[in-house]
Structure 1
Amino acid sequence: MTKKPIYVLNGTNLNLLGEREPHIYGYTTLADIEARCHETGAASAHGLVFRQSNHEGVLIDWIHEARREAAAIVINAGALTHTSIAIHDALKAFAGPIIELHITNVHRREPFRHHSYISFAATAVICGLGAEGYAVAVEQAARLAEAAKTDVST
């Protein structure tokens, strides 16, 4: 039986990683991050769906798709983290583990970045690990998905 994939969803402006404010976000591109995520053991075991959109509705559609198709979600919604009740509501309908991810430590940044609508729906939050945070998130998402399956079957 094939395991369900882990969905890694990326929001606004993350397509500009490596170019936009490299003094904050670094020089690693989203393509580099995707490649690193595919190298993880979790991606080997589960498979990976890695996507980016600058459109809130597209992210919501992918979250809805994940309800049927995914074992877990890793989401870096970018600025939508701080504004989107709609993404929060879509995530609340997902039964598996959700990891909210940020490249930077948002708590050391501007005050408006300290609030997250996604955190209310997330199983865990990873921030401040840079691009490497994605690989950590994928591994932990797989671990949490496996633990959830074990809890249900016992």
Structure 2
Amino acid sequence: MKIQPPLSILVLHGPNLNLLGQREPQIYGALSLATIDSRLKAEAALLLVDIVTAQSNHEGVLVDKIHEALGRHQGILINPGAYTHTSVALRDAIAGVGLPAVEVHLSNVYRREEFRHHSYIAPVAVGQISGFGANSYLLGLRALVYHLQEGQGEGKEQGKS
């Protein structure tokens, strides 16, 4: 019997998320990014998966991280921040590597300004979770792990519902 290595998930945090805990806590909550990453690592341990986290305010760095995920990780959990609404480059990178991705947001973007209602990422993600604060990340991680472990055999291909 061949022993499978644990799943590995890349967690990407987009622009301004390094300011969590300070930046508009009434919208984004009082937890720091370090605290969110710590909670994600604890959840990953419970799920028996590995995670690697990264944050950047630079679109190209995020694109490079997505490219580097190919062959290293089995899925991507991403909060693209403001790039959600503007970045065809992130969308194309996710589509290009073909790894299942889950898009997460701390706030419910659909209850906010109209320009936040459009996501370039959603059409290439297997799912999207928003509005649950830091728990959006934990829910997104659980959903992605479930998709990778169980959901693939149920005819749910990336980008199709």
Q: State TM-score, norm by structure 2.
A: 0.88
Q: Residue 6 of structure 1 aligns to which amino acid in structure 2?
A: I
- Where is the helix percentage greater, Structure 1 or Structure 2? 1
> What is the distance in 2 between the residues matched to 1:137 and 1:147?
15
Is contact 2:44-2:50 (8 Å) kept? no
Which segments of 5 or more consecutive residues in structure 2 lack a partner in the other structure? Answer: 155-161
Match of 2:112 among 95, 109, 113: 109
Deviation at 1:94, TM superposition (A): 2.7
Distance change (3 Å), C-alpha of 1:77 and 1:41: closer
Match of 1:66 in 2: 69
- Specify the SS of the correspondent of 1:86: helix
Q: What pairs up with 1:1-154 in 2 under 5 angstroms?
A: 1-41=4-44, 44-147=47-150
> What is the distance in 1 between the residues matched to 2:152 and 2:122?
23
- Specify the SS of the correspondent of 1:79: helix
Q: Residue 64 of structure 1 aligns to which amino acid in structure 2?
A: H
The farther-off stretch of 48-57 and 1-10 is: 1-10
Count of paired positions:
152
Moved over 3 A (4+): 41-44, 148-151
Structure number with the bigger relative contact order (C-alpha 8 A, sep ≥ 6) is 1
Distance change (3 Å), C-alpha of 1:42 and 1:116: farther
Q: State TM-score, norm by structure 1.
A: 0.92
% identical equivalent positions:
45
- Specify the SS of the correspondent of 2:97: coil
